[in-house]
Every structure is written in C-alpha cells, then in structure tokens.
Amino acid sequence: MGKHFILLSFSLWALCALCKPTEKKDRVHHDPQLSDKVHDDAENFEYDHDAFLGAEEAKTFDQLTPEESKERLGKIVSKIDADKDGFVTVEELRDWIKFAQKRWIFEDVERQWKGHDLNGDGLVSWEEYKNATYGYIFDDPDPDNSFNYKQMMVRDERRFKMADKDGDLIATKEEFTAFLHPEEFEYMKDIVVLETMEDIDKNGDGVIDLDEYIGDMYNHDGDADEPEWVKTEREQFVEFRDKNRDGKMDKEETKDWILPSDYDHAEAEARHLVYESDHNKDGKLTREEIVDKYDLFVGSQATDFGEALVRHDEF
C-alpha cells in the first residue's frame, strides 16, 4: 500500500510540476457551505437536513417513513449527546454538524488506519507509519529517483510529532486524524502554516515575497500578458496580505491568509435548530424535543410540509 501511495503522490507531483496551471491554486482553507440548498424554512427544510446529516446521508432519510426517520433520529441523538446527560446543547449540536459535514475525513482516516496499524493494537506508531509508507524505498532504493522521499519522510515525522500530544510517538485515532488532516485541528495550525511557507518560499529566507506568492499560483511560461486574476492577486498581496507593508508575508500574515477566521456556519445552524425545537425554552434539547421536530432535522418520504409549517409556527 505504501509503495502505491508514494508512486501516486509522485505521479501527481510530476503532473502538477509539468503542467501549466489554468486556474488559480487555492491554498486558503475555508469551511465548505453546509448545503447548496437555499435556507428558507418557509419553503422547505432541505438545507437543515443537509446541514444536520450531510447531503449524502440526508438523501437516505428521504426514502424512510416518518416512523423509521424518528427511530433513526433518536439513535443519532444519543451520539450527539457527548456527555450523556440527556440533553443536547448548542455546542454538542455544532460539533455533530461539523462531524456530519466532514464525514469523508473520518472515512479517509479509517481507510488509512487499516493500512498503518500493522500490529493491530489500535494505535499507529511513527515506526509503523514510516515502514508502511516509506519502507519499500529503503528496501529497494532507486538512485535515479529525483523526488526526495527522505525529505518527505522528515517532514511527515515533524508533523507526526506535532500531532502526537503526549510525545510517545504513538498516535491514537484522534492524533492520527490530526496528522492526516492538520487543518481541522486548532493545535495543528502552526504546522499547516509552516508547511505552506516552505512550499512557497523558494529562496529559503523564511518569508514569502510577491514573486514567490504569484509564482505559486501562476507559471508565466513565456506569456507576455498575465491573466486578469493574476493582476488582482498582486493587488491583494500589496493591499491585504502584506499587512505591515514590508514587501513580504511573515508567519502571522501567512496564517491570516490561509486560515482566515470564517463565519461559523455550523454554530449558526446549531443555534437555529435549537431555537426552532426548544419547546420549553431552556436553551437545550431533549431527545423528545428533537424527535418531535424530526421533519426539521431529517425529513422522510411522507413528510407533510404544510402540517410541518403549522407546527413550526406554533413554536
């Protein structure tokens, strides 16, 4: 598996290196929209269904009867109630929505976990990851291989150590997730910034100048005229990226660029769902309150939207 992974990575790298980009490379990490549906409860609850379940999972509920939807929703409530106190708070609902929206991340971790937990102890050590991912390179070295796998391994080891909170070089499932998807974890954001700067900083001076910033997005390749978006990016660098006007982006300026403080859609949706379902207005939801408003959360093939609107107005 490691060999195939490395070869695929190399192929993709080579392809990117040889091809002239036709679109701007986007290094900014944005949380995606919760749904591509219009959020208008006066029309339907499809946005809320996508937000609460994820778009793909929401489709499966459309095939269920109301009774089946309520039963499955009740089981989900048990998962959302993280502290098992019998109530779902805004924070717990927000965390669930973020999980539902990024379910693919956890599925990816599960796939990779199976290929790296070599001794089956429910943990992944650095040695296991290194052997599974890079082992064949050292068993069968190729002197003509121009891609620096050793450098990749050193970078991976540094990230692994950052993800490994207790410093034992053995990753739990959560730590392994932070290693594979560092942009999703607050304590990993510095490594995301550092790796980005290393990718773009071609002269190795520890900062990103204008030429490096543009060069990461666009390959001139002899073109006399730059596309309009490249000119716009030059203006963005001068006016917004380089906040202290010293002609380059340092670590903090790079962090502001690639990890912006976005509007928290999951938080807003969680507050909306609580507000619409909180019958006794105590600021948290019981299982009964959620299941009673199942049409808002999950829907079903037999949902009477007109009836749902009546009950919606009653709250």
State pTM to two decimals: 0.74
Q: Residue 52: which of 28, 69, 29 has the closest Cα?
A: 69
- Higher-pLDDT residue of 240 and 225 is 240
Quick check: 173 pLDDT over 60?
Answer: yes
- Higher-pLDDT residue of 139 and 27 is 27
Quick check: 253 pLDDT over 70?
Answer: yes
Q: Which residues are bridge partners to 249 per DSSP?
A: 208
311, two tokens: 């009950």
47, two tokens: 């946005």
Quick check: 74 pLDDT over 60?
Answer: yes
Q: Residue 160: which of 179, 173, 174 has the closest Cα?
A: 179
Quick check: 20 pLDDT over 60?
Answer: no
Q: Residue 296: which of 32, 39, 87 has the closest Cα?
A: 39
The length of the chain in residues reads 315
Say what the pLDDT of residue 220 is. Answer: 73
Q: Where are the beta strands (DSSP E) in the chain?
A: 124-125, 170-171, 208-209, 248-249
Q: Which residues contact 84 (CB under 8 A, 6 or more apart)?
A: none
Quick check: 310 pLDDT over 70?
Answer: no
- Tally of CB atoms within 10 A around 121: 10
Cα separations (Å) of 211 from 117, 152, 197, 249?
Answer: 43, 25, 13, 11
